[in-house]
Each structure stands twice: as C-alpha cells, then as structure tokens.
A = this chain, B = another copy of it.
Amino acid sequence: MTATDSAPALVTERSIDPLGFEVPSTVPTHWYNLAADLPQPCPPALHPGTREPLGPEDLAPLFPMALIAQEVSTERYVEIPQTVREIYSLWRPAPLIRAHRLERALGTPARIYYKYEGVSPAGSHKPNTAIAQAYYNKLEGVTRLTTETGAGQWGASLSLAGALLGLTVEVWQVRASYDAKPYRRFQMEAYGGVCHSSPSELTEAGRAILAATPDTTGSLGMAISEAVEVAAEDPEAHYSLGSVLNHVLLHQTVIGQEALEQLGDVVPDVIFGCAGGGSNLAGLTFPFLGRNLREGTTTRLVACEPAACPSLTQGEYRYDHGDVAGLTPLLKMHTLGADFVPPPIHAGGLRYHGMAPMVSHAVNLGLMEAVAIDQDTAFRAGVEFARAEGIIPAPESTHAVAAAIAHARAATTDEVVLIGLSGNGVLDLPSYGAYV
C-alpha cells in the first residue's frame, strides 16, 4: 500500500478478504451447533403452503446458500471465517466479569459472574450475527440487504455490518419507533444505512396498508412484509433476520464459547439469559448445554422472558408463522399466536410472539427452564445492578438480572451464577427515566 492524499472508498471489494493479521486466540475459532448434541432432532420448518419440510430452494430467494446450509447443519463446530474473526476482534472477547460488588450488596454467598455484550459498537449482542450474515451474503455476490427493525437495535447492527463489509443496508423501522426514538436511526445513518418509516410508499405492501390505514403506527409484521418484498424483487438483494432462525443462534454461540473458555474450571450452577426471539439466550447457553449433554455437567439454564410476552411459560408448543401475514415458514415453537400483540413494554427486543425453534425444542425436552419476570421487577434489578456494577443494563437484559438477583438472595452456598448481560441501556435511558 502507498500513501495517498485522496480519500479512497472506505469499503471496497477487498473488504471480504481477510486482512491477514493475527486475531487473538481468545476470539473463538468456531461457532457451536447444538443440533449435533441434541438427543432428538429439532422439528423442521414447514413450507407455509404445502406444510412439507422446507428445502434449500425455498429459502434461496432470501438467504445465501451458506446460511441455508447452516440452518440445517448437524456439524458440531462451524468454522468462523477469518474476516469475521477479524471484525469480532474489534470488541471480542467480550468481558466476563465477577460481580464482587453486587454480591456484597446482596449479601449473598453465591459467586455471580456476568458476560457483557454491551461492549460491541452497537451496544448489544446483535452484531455477532449481523457481521456473519453480511459476510456470507457478500461472499455470494449480494450487494444489498433489507431488514425490519422495531426499536432499532437490529437495524443499527446490520447497518454496522454493512459498513464494515461493503453492503448497502436498507431498514424498515416501525413508524412509532421511527418517530419517537430517532437515536437508533441516527446510528444507522452514521453507518451509511438507510432507514425508512414503515409502512412506506416504497413497497406494494406499504402502499396498501397506508391506503387502508393512513394513520397506523406500524408493526413489525408490516415492516417484515416490506423488507421481504424488496429483497424478493431485487436479484442482488437478500433479506436478513436478527433472531429465531438456527443460523442466527449459531452465530451467537460465540458468546457462550468465550464464556466457557473464560470460566475455565469454574462450572456454573445456573445461567440466566433474557429471551425474546431466543438468539441471545441460545448464544450464551447452548455451548454449556452441549457440555451438559456430552460430559454430564449439570448447569441449569434459565430463559428469562417478560411477563407481558410469555411465549415459553404461557404459550403453546406448536407450528406457527413467524409473521402476522403468514408469509414466513411454519416453525415449531412456543408461541402466543402469530396475531398476539404484546403490550408496549420497554424491553422492545423481547416483544415477539414466538420463541426460536431450537430453544423451544430444548425447553420441551426439559433441557432448559423458563421464568417470566414483570417489568417493574426487571427495572428494579437493573437499577440495583447499575448502582453496584456501574453498567446500566439494557431493559431486555434486566430480566436475566432480576432472575439472577432473586436466585442469589436465596442462595445458601457459594454456588456459581452466570448472567447474560446482552447489552447496555444507554439508548434506553428514557425508559429508566420513566421508571426512576
């Protein structure tokens, strides 16, 4: 390379090539695939029309083949591409911290640890899969990714991935959030992403909704319809999803792989993770669950969901659609019904009617547990955590914190408790303001 006075394009085709520097060995080399260790296979996704198991060709218009292959893979370990590891190394390994100060504040003999994903540039675990999805799409010649977003965490994370890997990212954001919470949109735009208020005039779906209900506040279901429509019509575009699917959960296992390594000989007695679509929970817990299944360790794994959207604790375990319109494949999952509309809670990332099939399956097999936490209890725990450990947890993460605090208060031994702190609450401070 030579010096230059002109500004070269920031992201070039070369970005897909690894830069070739040595990534620290503490950044995992492989994602972990729970499918390899499950005592029974996870029920497959079904075609919404035929109700037959989906084939790769059904997914090809929306996803690259590499991700479709990961979706059905039963390989135990999937190698993380070097370019993805290089980007991960900008903030990974994410810290695993002993919560000495929280332990003292609670007066508990338990040893509490937390794995903190809020150090990522987007402030949560979401970039772990956004980077990987952008990478595989770029590798197969896709130039444009579309997605939907509610509060904006996922849209910001995919925009970040687009900036780092040279893809155009277009996000349809639920109108109510777009209007009321502009910070995430500014974040998307800083990364070069384009954010539309949904429903928009840019799609048939959007125009139809606007014609019928011009004053609608929008919904994730509408935004999905718009993003999918655009991706399906542009041969150079694909669609990207931030949770629920197997390949998304797979990418998130970088969290648990690191935690296993960081804890060394310390085997957690119980792990608490918040659960919305399930990817953060799975990412942290699946590597530990795999060890339980292979080596007979007995780490308890607890999904912490909001009482206002309790798919695991109150939903049915059955085939259901992922979206309101019924366009997506049928997934076997714990569901409150595709038409369930959760009340507006502050933990926007947990407002999903269903639960990832792989998580639902693990719960159904008795390999994981679930608890529901009400919003006040969650925020109280968030404030308690912040005043002891400094970090203000994301409203989603406070559900795991609340369950862990209740557990630790009742503890009588020095058992090991691990909390999944999926993100920080910096852009959710108005929610804390409303609570405090």
Which residues does A use to contact B, with CB under 8 Å? Answer: 1-5, 7-8, 10-12, 14-15, 19, 21, 86-87, 90-91, 95, 97-98, 100-101, 103-109, 119-121, 123, 127, 160, 163-164, 182-187, 189-192, 383-384, 386-392, 409-412, 425-427, 429-430, 432-433, 436
Q: Which of B19, B101, B106, B127 contacts A100 (CB 8 A)?
A: B19
User: When the two chains form their complex, are residues B409 and A121 in contact, meaning their CB atoms are under 8 A apart?
Assistant: no
A176 to chain B, nearest CB (A): 18
Establish whether residues B98 and A21, one from each chain, have CB atoms under 8 Å apart when the complex forms: yes
From B98, B164, B427, A390 is in contact (CB under 8 Å) with B164
- Residues of B near A3 (CB, < 8 A) are 107-109, 409-412
CB distance from A193 to the nearest CB of B (A): 10
Supposing A98-B21, A183-B430 touch, asked if A390 and B108 sit within 8 A by C-beta, the answer is no
3 interchain residue pairs of minimum CB distance: A186-B433, A121-B390, A186-B429
The copy count of this chain in the complex is 2
Residue of B nearest to A379 (CB): B190
Most chain B beta-carbon contacts within 10 A, residue among A11, A87, A185, A390: A390
In the complex, the chain B residue whose C-beta lies closest to that of A411 is B3
| Contact assessment for B383 and A190 in the assembled complex, using a CB-CB cutoff below 8 Å | yes
User: In the complex, which residues of chain B have a beta carbon less than 8 angstroms from the beta carbon of A95?
Assistant: 91
A-B contact pairs, 21 of them (CB 8 A): A1-B107, A1-B109, A2-B109, A3-B411, A4-B106, A4-B108, A5-B409, A5-B410, A7-B409, A8-B106, A10-B384, A12-B105, A19-B101, A90-B391, A91-B390, A160-B390, A164-B390, A183-B426, A183-B430, A184-B429, A190-B392
Given contacts A4-B409, A390-B91, contact A14 B104 (CB under 8 A): yes
CA distance A160 to B426 in the complex (A): 13
Distance from A97 Cβ to chain B, minimum over Cβ atoms (Å): 7
A109 contacts which chain B residues (CB < 8 A)? 1-3
